[in-house]
Structure 1
Amino acid sequence: MSEPTRGWMKIGHGNLETYHSELSQWGTNQRILTQNHETYGLPSNLEQLDEDQLDILRDIISHSSSSKGEVNVTNIPPSNPVFQETLYIDLFTKDCPITTQNFMHLLKGDKGISKLSSKPLHYKNVRIHRLVKDFIVQGGDITRNNGSGGESIYGPKFNDEKNGLKMKFQYGTVAMACGSSRNSNSSQFFVCLVPNITEEDSKEEKERKKRMLGKLDGKYVVFGQVRDRESLELLGKLNALEMGGEGEELEGCWIDGCGVV
């Protein structure tokens, strides 16, 4: 197999708006506590307050001129629900030149706006919309952003490359998502999350993994592989996400940035 070029995607997950709102409220509460803790005999740090002291602070804040309406007062700082980590993908440019050219241009966004859909031919800000745990994670619908659309740099669809169909899937393999139809590749892609078979696996577990991989081998065009440790760990985080949507729909996960190394 030829030496690959490397593409990258910064994957974001979480609700930034909610986090920033909670962080702002925490800062306001801490500021009011700092101004009043000596007067009321309270600790100076929010995290040191017990429930009775929190009630006192709530009363102070409710009468503060800088406070409007009911606010959340807690001794637990807001936790950032967002991770933004980079997924690196080794691309098989010599084995699948047509497929990888499409993927690389969509990573770079250098083809501008589509004349067909009037959408940017770019993965940036596009959702990772589907997760089937221990099977696949899927994204790249640049036209509808929900898994029902997609478009390539060549037009609506392009044909399968035979070399890509011959490659076997393993954990971290990247392939085009084309439904059940041959020669219908667009912009959607998926990453295989089926764990690799190990000697420690039971006979039943080995057979289960083989069945899952059998659903992929020869049916989808493979054009890349995730290999580095950090990126493989990121796949594990994606596999562990709460769904948030209906069925296999994944909410709050997107491509925050992308390009080619």
Structure 2
Amino acid sequence: MKCLGNLKKVMTAAVAATMLMMVGCGNSSSNKKNNEPTTAAGQSGNTIIITLNAEQAPITCENFEKLVKEGFYDGLIFHRVIDGFMAQGGDPEGTGMGGSENTIKGEFKANGVNNELSHQRGVISMARAQDYDSASSQFFICYTGNYTADLDGYYAAFGNVTEGMEVVEDFTRVPRTQGGDGNMSKPTTPIVMEKVEMIEPDANGWHRVKITMNNFLE
């Protein structure tokens, strides 16, 4: 894949190896937590709102909505967090090696799809393996727009964080150990999506998803 593992123009080999690689599939899930909701950043009950862009990536959005409605993401973790780059989650195995049962077409220019949504701060996009059509459930949220030259056209961006980006930023406050990617990217405290659900569309009719997080800063 041009899995985020081949971004050698702007990143060291060690960081490059961490990119958005995901291989295989799985159907196990992480332990769920039921903490009482609060409103402080990083605590249980904090929410992230994602507005989907079906105009740019209709297949990806349809697949993501289907998994959300099935409760697929409930209890899963963000297993990889890299400062200044991205937070990756949606793997039922919690290792970066799993996914849902089905794979979908990669909606990006290198795969013949004119997706013009750029990987800027707050953009959500699909992780995949080397095969352009291997994305399933794993996704990532960008912290910066520093890697657009390498991500745009090779990964299917499909929406934006429109509320709660400060919660995503708080993921970087969780201590991390060395992950399978060779970088300090594996959170020592599980960053859990306790509940992922569809909510009412925005004023323009764009579909939205709400992610309710656990108290990962506890």
TM-score normalized by structure 1? Answer: 0.53
Q: Deviations over 1:189-214 (max 9, x none)?
A: 000011x5xxxxxxxxxxxx3xx332
Residue 159 (structure 2) pairs with residue 224 (structure 1): yes
Pairing partner for 1:89 from 23, 38, 50? 50
Where does structure 2 lack aligned partners over 5 or more consecutive residues? 1-32, 200-218
Q: What is the total number of aligned residue pairs between the two structures?
A: 153
- For residues 109 and 244 of structure 1, the distance between their equivalents in structure 2, rounded to whole angstroms, comes to 32
Report the equivalent of 1:166: 116
Q: How does 1:75-154 map to 2 (within 5 A)?
A: 83-84=43-44, 85-109=46-70, 122-142=72-92, 144-152=93-101
Pairing partner for 2:175 from 239, 242, 247? 242
Q: Whose strand proportion is higher, 1 or 2?
A: 2
Q: Deviations over 1:137-177 (max 9, x none)?
A: 000012x221101025xx2x111124574321110000000
Q: Post-superposition shift, 1:108?
A: 1.9
Q: Post-superposition shift, 1:239?
A: 2.6
Report the equivalent of 1:4: none
- For residues 78 and 138 of structure 2, the distance between their equivalents in structure 1, rounded to whole angstroms, comes to 10
- For residues 130 and 60 of structure 2, the distance between their equivalents in structure 1, rounded to whole angstroms, comes to 18
Identity among equivalent positions (%) equals: 27
- For residues 223 and 89 of structure 1, the distance between their equivalents in structure 2, rounded to whole angstroms, comes to 10
Contact 1:150 1:188 survives alignment (8 Å):
yes
Q: RMSD of aligned C-alpha atoms?
A: 2.6
Pairing partner for 1:233 from 166, 178, 181? 166
Report the equivalent of 2:16: none
Q: 1:160 to 1:256 in 2, by over 3 A?
A: same
AA at the equivalent of 2:154: K
- For residues 114 and 78 of structure 2, the distance between their equivalents in structure 1, rounded to whole angstroms, comes to 22
Specify the SS of the correspondent of 2:47. Answer: strand
- For residues 66 and 115 of structure 2, the distance between their equivalents in structure 1, rounded to whole angstroms, comes to 21
- For residues 132 and 187 of structure 2, the distance between their equivalents in structure 1, rounded to whole angstroms, comes to 26
- For residues 254 and 191 of structure 1, the distance between their equivalents in structure 2, rounded to whole angstroms, comes to 15
Contact 1:169 1:216 survives alignment (8 Å):
yes
TM-score normalized by structure 2? Answer: 0.62
Q: Deviations over 1:202-242 (max 9, x none)?
A: xxxxxxx3xx33221111101010123xx121122113321
Contact 1:159 1:185 survives alignment (8 Å):
yes
- For residues 176 and 129 of structure 2, the distance between their equivalents in structure 1, rounded to whole angstroms, comes to 21
Pairing partner for 1:179 from 129, 152, 169? 129
* Larger-Rg structure: 1
Q: Flag the structure with more relative contact order, 1 or 2, with Cα contacts below 8 A and sequence separation at least 6.
A: 2
Report the equivalent of 1:60: none
Where does structure 1 lack aligned partners over 5 or more consecutive residues? 1-15, 20-79, 111-121, 197-208
Specify the SS of the correspondent of 1:101. Answer: helix
Q: Whose helix proportion is higher, 1 or 2?
A: 1
Q: Post-superposition shift, 1:100?
A: 0.7
